[in-house]
Amino acid sequence: MKNWRSLAAAVLGAALSFVLAPQARAEGGAGPEAMSMGNMCMVMFGYDMIHITVFQPDKSRSEYCSEIPATGRTIMVFDLETPSFRDLPLELRVIRDPLTPVLPTGAELEALTELHLPAKKYTKGTFSLEHNFENNGHYIGLVTLTKENGEQQTELFKFMVGETLWAWVPQIAGTILIAGMVFVYWKHTHPSPKKTAPKETAAS
C-alpha cells in the first residue's frame, strides 16, 4: 500500500508539472528551424540565429513570442545576431497556418499571405514591422536568406494570435490525466467490500 501511494504521488506531481510549468519547446518542422524558450524566439539557420521579439503596445508593455494574446496592432522586432546576415537580402512572409505538414506554394501561398516584406539588406542588423492582426488563429513566419552564390534558404517560426481551442489542449489533457490518477488512487484505497455467500439454512 505504501509503495502504491508513493507511486501515485510521484505520477500526480509529474502531471501537475506538465500542466503548470512553462516548457521550452521547439517550433517549426524537423531540425533547428526555430525555437522558443519563454518569451525569447529565435529562427535558426544552422547554428546562426535571428532573434524575434513581439510587442502589443496598445495592450501592455509585455514581450511575446509564440503566443500573442490578442488581435490588434502588433510590432515584431527582428535582430540579426549573425553579422554576416546583414549583407544578405532577407525576405519575410507571414501566412495563416494551413495546419498541414506541407507548406503551400505559388497561388496557394499568396492566398494565405498575411503580410510580405520583399528581400532587402538590413545593414544595421535590426528591423521591425507593424501589423494589425484582425483574426485569431495560427500563423507561420517564413524567413528567406539569399546567399552570395544565389542559393536561398528558408526557415520558419510558428506563432498563435489570440486564444484558440488548440491553446487549451495541453491543459485539457493534463486535467484528464490528473482526474484519472485521482480516480485510480481512490479506487485502490477504497476497495469495494467483498460479498459473502449466504449461509445455507439447515434442513427442517
Check residue 173 and give its pLDDT: 61
The Cα–Cα gap between 158 and 6 comes to: 40
Check residue 167 and give its pLDDT: 46
Q: What residue spans define the domains of the chain?
A: 34-166
Check residue 141 and give its pLDDT: 95
Check residue 78 and give its pLDDT: 97
Q: pLDDT under 70 in the chain at which residues?
A: 1-40, 164-174, 183-188, 190-204
Question: Which backbone phi and psi does 180 adopt, to 5 degrees?
Answer: -65, -40
Cell numbers at 80, concatenated? 540579426
The Cα–Cα gap between 56 and 127 comes to: 16
34 and 51 in contact (C-beta within 8 Å)?
Answer: no
The Cα–Cα gap between 29 and 44 comes to: 12
Cell numbers at 25, concatenated? 519547446
**CATH of the domain spanning 34-166:** 2.60.40.1930
Spatial CB neighbours of 197, under 8 Å, sequence gap ≥ 6: none
